[in-house]
Amino acid sequence: MVLIEYEARDTIIHRLNSLSKLIWFSGIIFLLTLYLEPQPLLILFIFELFIGYLAKIPWRKILARAWWAFIFSIASGYSISLWVNQPSQFTNVPKEFACKVLIQLTPEGTPLLGYTAITYGGLLWGTAATLKISIAVIAACILSFSTSISDIIFLWSRFLPYRLSFIITAGMRFYPVMVDKTQEIIIAAKSRGWEISSRNPVKRVKSLFPIVFPAIREAVVLAEKMALAVEARAFGVKKPTNLRQISFTYSDFFFILFNVFITGILTYMWWFYGFGRL
């Protein structure tokens, strides 16, 4: 699922080949898995904003479409942080500082919840979790905004087994088609007086049948047509020929070099200096 669609623009980031952008994206995701503390995530965030600025990304559009992801990241991050209050959870941050309780919510031995409290360590963890989700969402948006799906598919076809690549491609390509078809079905059903008014959950589920069944039918028809087309092109007989080549420019080379070294430095600092450990 893409939050923001590809737009063909003439920016430095758009002109990079898809492999360079994928390396940047992989580097960001790799670093996000390492960190539990906000300092390095702030560096990553600034770095991402810089890339987004170069790609001339529509920030307002991202906010309008991905607001729920940011709200979810804040709510989930700070909720789970209530359980981050034990000294054993901290290795780098001084335990006496990290476990300092600001507000105790439930005492030890509370059924189901256990001991929950707002602590400095918990707040650090919550901020890091929020930042991690936000950075991942923005990075995905930058990638999908600056790289066409056909470019991503072409990359997959180079590295993945071609059958698997075809499955992923088909899934991605037909997701917007299916969304459009479902919208059409909903509009058609509404024109016939269909609506969900009942508050009874069973009735609500039942009222979805006029949408779900035609949608499944459409999907099956689409799959059948596609299977026929694929068979007509002799898919599976032998490995398909690639019609495109990945071309590297100096710009791509320097962008990859920059990303590899930034990822390397931050990983080294995490490993040896404990930078980003809680």
Partner 1 sequence: MDSVDYKKYILLSIILLISTIFNSNQSILSYSYMNNNREILQILCVDMENKPLNKAEVIIKDLNGKTVYNGTTNSTGWIYIELPKEKYILKILWLKTPVYMGNISLTKPLIEKIQCKVYHLTIAINLLYIIPVRHAKITIINTTSKKTVYTYIGEIKIPYRLYILSAEKTLRLPAGNYTVIVEMLNRQSQEINLNKSMKIVFPYIASFGSLFILICIIIAVISCICFLITGHKRTKVIKSNH
Binding site for partner 1 (CB under 8 A): 10-12, 15, 39, 54, 92-94, 97, 249-251, 254-255, 257-258, 261-262, 264-265, 268-269, 272-275
Closest-CA residue to 56 (of 3, 6, 13, 2): 13
Q: How near is the Cβ of 275 to partner 1 at its closest, in Å?
A: 6
Identity of the residue, 141 or 256, whose beta carbon is nearer to partner 1 in the bound complex = 256
HSE, CB side, 13 Å, CA atoms: give it for residue 213.
Answer: 7
Provide the minimum distance between the beta carbon of 32 and partner 1 in the complex, in angstroms, as a whole number.
19
Q: How far is the CB of 274 from partner 1 (least distance, A)?
A: 6
Is residue 109 classed as helix, strand or coil in its secondary structure? coil
Nearer of residues 176 and 264 to partner 1, judged by Cβ: 264
Structure token pair of residue 124: 């650090």
How far apart CA 186 and CA 197 sit, in angstroms, is: 15
Q: What is the dihedral of CA 120, 123, 129, 132, to 10 degrees?
A: -90
* Alpha carbon distance 86, 66 (integer Å): 33
Shorter beta-carbon distance to partner 1: residue 159 or 272: 272
Q: How far is the CB of 98 from partner 1 (least distance, A)?
A: 9
Given a contact cutoff of 8 angstroms between Cβ atoms, the answer to whether 57 and 142 are in contact is yes
CB of 158 to partner 1, least distance (A): 23
Query: Cβ closer to partner 1: 13 or 129?
Result: 13
Q: Which is nearer to partner 1, 127 or 157 (CB)?
A: 127
| CB closer to partner 1, 53 vs 59 | 53
Minimal distance in Å, beta carbon 28 to partner 1?
A: 15
Q: How many whole angstroms separate alpha carbon 222 and alpha carbon 215?
A: 10
Q: How does DSSP assign 9-71, residue by residue?
A: --SHHHHS-HHHHHHHHHHHHHHHHH--SHHHHHHHHHHHHHHHHHTT--HHHHHHHHHHHHH
